[in-house]
Amino acid sequence: MRDTLRQLVALQQVDDELAGVEAEVSGLPGLRQAADADRAKAEETLAAARTRVEEVELARREQESELASTEERRKDREGKTAVVKTNEEYTALLAEIDGLKQSEGDLETAILEAMERVDEAREALSAAEDKAREVGARVDVLRKRLDAREQELTGEQARLTVARDEAAAKLPPDLLRTYQKVVERRRPGVAVVSTELCSGCRVGIPPQAFVNLISGKTIEVCGSCRRILIHKAMLSGEAVPVSAE
């Protein structure tokens, strides 16, 4: 019975390792998605920065074009002051010229402000480009590491699957079925105990069941969590206690 119980614990150890590998494998897609999301966010920020530069440069060019048109109108009106025939026409022309000069001043101020916005947008674009390159390089490195780790885990998964099959084959079919039913509900499926408490759920073990554990002649399960119970002395070279007292 000692050998059987040791083989059962060995199976559980393999199962625990295999579960850990499978959990890590199942987490890899999420890590890739998170990395890709970081890259996408950086690229989105970069695209927005490029759009902002285009918008502010277009606005500046439109203002410069409007300024040139306003200057041209003013010069045209100034040229007409020498040929107007009445004082009313002359006065109206001067008022129009003054208005155009005011518009020119306003546009020049607006253009200066637009140039500042262009500079700011270009600085933001440069920062976004640097960030996108940094994130892209980091994501590329991370993806390569994840790919390499996935290959390692695939090999480890295959090795552990073989080891599990070998360990399971050494157990009596009834005990294996009992163990598999337990681990389908909870892990670990085996609770190694040294006192009259289940190490899995901390619920007391009935005295007779504990005596049976010490004897090692029967398989006992916890009445609460249904884990298979094994006294630790059955797994080592320790002397088995003669009683539960």
pLDDT tens for each residue of 96-111: 999 999 999 999 999 9
Q: Is the pLDDT of residue 237 over 80?
A: no
Residue type, 234: M
CA distance linking residue 231 with residue 222, whole number of Å: 12
Mean pLDDT value across the chain? 92
Strand partners, 192: 230
Per-residue pLDDT band at 240 (split at 50, 70, 90): low
CA distance linking residue 19 with residue 30, whole number of Å: 18
Q: Is the pLDDT of residue 242 over 60?
A: no
CA distance linking residue 31 with residue 143, whole number of Å: 9
Q: What percent of the chain has pLDDT over 90?
A: 82
Tokens of 34: 């998170």
The answer to which of 22-31, 32-41, 76-85, 136-145 has the lowest mean pLDDT is 76-85
Exposure letters 143-170 (e unless 16+ CB within 10 A, then b)? eeebeeeeeebeebbeebeebbeebbee
Beta strands in 153-245 (DSSP E): 190-193, 220-221, 228-231
Residue linked to tokens 């004082």: 87
Tokens of 142: 């991370």
CA distance linking residue 159 with residue 166, whole number of Å: 11
Which 8-state DSSP code applies to residue 85?
A: -
What are 15-32's pLDDT values in tens digits?
A: 999 999 999 999 999 999
Strand partners, 204: 197
Q: Which CATH architecture has domain 2-169?
A: Orthogonal Bundle (1.10)
CA distance linking residue 225 with residue 219, whole number of Å: 15
The predicted pLDDT at position 244 comes to 42
Three-state DSSP at 225 gives coil
Which phi and psi angles does 153 have, rounded to 5°? -65, -35
Per-residue pLDDT band at 245 (split at 50, 70, 90): very low
Mention every residue, 6+ apart, whose C-beta is less than 8 A from residue 17: 160
Tokens of 176: 């294996």
Domain ranges of the chain: 2-169, 173-235
What's the whole-number mean pLDDT along residues 42-50?
Answer: 97
What's the whole-number mean pLDDT along residues 164-191?
Answer: 92
The predicted pLDDT at position 218 comes to 83
